[in-house]
Amino acid sequence: MEKEIISLQLAHLLGESFKQKDIYDQLEKPKYKDHGDVAFPCFSLAKHLRTNPKQIAEDLSSKLDHPILSKSEAVHGYVNIFLDQDFMTEHILSRVLTEGYGSHSFGRGENVVIDLSAPNIAKPFSMGHLRSTVIGNSLANLAETCGYTPVKINYIGDYGTQFGHLLAAYKKWGDAEAVRQAPLKELSEIYVRFHHESESDPSLIEEGREWFKRLEQGDEEALALWKWFRELSLEKFQDIYDQLDVSFDLTRGESYYSDKMETTISLLESKGLLEESDGALVVKLDEFDLPPCLIVKSNGTTTYATRDVTAAIDRYQSYSFSKSLYVVGNEQTLHFQQIRRVLEKAGFAWANDMYHVSFGMMLQDGKKMSTRKGRTILLEDVLKEAGNRAGDNKIGTGAVLFHDLKHYRQNDVEFSLEDMLTFEGITGPYLQYTYARALSLLNKTSFEKKTGLSDPGAWELVKQLHAFPDETARAFHEFDPSIVARYLLGLAKYFNQYYAGTKILQEDQLDERLTLVYGVTLVLKEGLGILGIEAVEEM
């Protein structure tokens, strides 16, 4: 509200050649609180007005006037604007108490398809899989907060050359009873052994290719083993999703498209896009400065790209999405650039609505976790240990999730159980503790909700509450849940400062102070929910 009013006032003072939206976009939050609540830099106006920024700022400051403003000052070419704290506090707290505070309607009537999690069957659900799962789930929550209908798709990796490798490994070293007892552990071990031994025996790789070809051709033995591995894997994955409280609207494996890829290949061929290259079929992307996209290998088998192009077409036909998000690691950037350009060349305008929401790696001692190299940490073990150390499974799980989501998604994350579980600093338990502390205040006495708080010591906390809707919208537009995570840390910091410096339960303005505390609990709980974390009431 205040930025709209201020930008309108400034536009009126500057004249018709200055647009209100342009002025709005230039308004800043001052770095220091004694510089006001909103700042307007005048440097870009100097050339147009043929006056120095200092003079422009002084002229504007002397003329700005509105009931929501207490004063304005000209400082070094800036107009520093101070809001009327009592007026704004009542307005902000009234909004915070409104149902759905922090939500938006700009996505109403539109679908957002989100490809998330996507573990590979026959491999353990490691800490490396956590990132796609929790980032994608949080983006789905943000989409819903912004009015969209999210469609969460778990696109299981259950097809491709790697499964030929697994079948070959099982035929050499597999033990059916051991697989039944501990499916992911046993299958992972023989998969790792396969790749270790193939370094000195390249013929193993060829055996793996032959087994995948048999699988593609519907070989009875290959198909039966593959189905068994898939069923066992999905059961184990579900246990993890239940612990994380993550659900999906559709779980579909890459194999679903095995009998649909011929249609895609024919489509690309009919549009004159397929070209032969060393016996393979590719779509050239020279005009985009990208390497050719491999569609059919020289041995006749399909590729990830073939399946992903087919899946993209199917998803648009099924959901008519306004946005399709692929929450997949940074290392797949080239792949998704190629997929999008192939679809674009094929004439699908909606290809421009596909976004690769990339993220960094989960590191262990500075190194990438790798199932193939046998260097991984199982998420199941981490969740169990976190729950034990925290003394509560919800707190432990929340700590693991927040440790991931507090980082800007494209940054790598170093795994550290100790850092996750500390009750001080930028952690999930710190937020949970703050929420429980605020609730304990509310439970000590009854109060009437009143928004007319007059308390300068509460102003920074009130402003932080005010920022919540802007931050949820920004987090969705930037596909970055860490914006919400960092916002909540700021909210907790300002609340704890207020708690430490104010006798909240004193009779004077008791109702108003507890109304502010109540608003903090509402926003903390909503923000944690967006991150997929359940707020706990006692700690």
Nearest CA-CA partner of 348 in 296, 295, 304, 311: 311
Return the SS3 of 415. coil
For the chain, 539 residues long, give each residue's pLDDT as a single digit of tens.
899 999 999 999 998 888 999 999 999 999 888 999 999 999 999 888 899 999 999 999 999 988 899 999 999 999 999 999 999 999 999 999 999 999 999 999 999 999 999 998 888 887 778 999 999 999 999 999 999 999 999 999 888 788 899 999 999 999 999 999 889 889 988 998 998 999 999 899 999 999 988 988 889 999 999 999 999 999 999 999 999 999 999 999 988 998 899 999 999 999 999 999 999 999 999 999 999 999 999 988 889 999 999 999 999 999 999 999 999 999 999 999 999 999 999 999 999 999 999 999 988 777 776 655 555 678 888 899 889 988 889 999 999 999 999 999 999 998 887 888 787 778 999 999 999 999 999 999 999 999 999 999 999 999 999 999 999 999 999 999 999 999 999 999 999 999 999 999 998 999 999 999 999 999 999 999 999 999 999 88
Within its chain, how far is the Cα of 50 from the centroid?
46
Contacts by residues 188-194 (CB-CB < 8 Å, ≥ 24 positions apart): 188/122, 188/123, 188/124, 188/371, 190/166, 191/122, 191/123, 191/162, 191/165, 191/166, 191/371, 191/372, 192/371, 192/372, 192/373, 192/374, 193/169, 194/165, 194/166, 194/168, 194/169
Q: How far is CA 268 from CA 166, 249, 274, 283, 354, in A?
A: 31, 30, 6, 8, 19
- Residue 349: the pLDDT is 97
Take residue 514 and report the two structure tokens written for it: 């507890």
Q: What is the pTM of this model?
A: 0.91
DSSP E strands: which ranges in 405-473?
A: 413-414
| Angle, helices 379-390/393-405, rounded to nearest 10 degrees | 120
- Residue 363: the pLDDT is 84
Domains of the chain: 2-83 (3.30.1360.70), 401-530 (1.10.730.10)
Nearest CA-CA partner of 194 in 159, 226, 162, 165: 165
DSSP string computed for 466-517 = HTHHHHHHHHHHTT-THHHHHHHHHHHHHHHHHHHHS-TTSSTTHHHHHHHH
- Residue 532: the pLDDT is 98
Nearest CA-CA partner of 127 in 407, 381, 431, 317: 381
Take residue 409 and report the two structure tokens written for it: 């998604």
Report d(CA 169, CA 222) in Å as an integer. 12
Contacts by residues 420-424 (CB-CB < 8 Å, ≥ 24 positions apart): 420/386, 421/386, 421/389, 421/390, 421/396
Report d(CA 201, CA 204) in Å as an integer. 6
Q: Which amino acid is at 454?
A: S
Residue 502: φ, ψ to 5°: -135, 135
Report d(CA 304, CA 294) in Å as an integer. 9
Return the SS3 of 185. helix
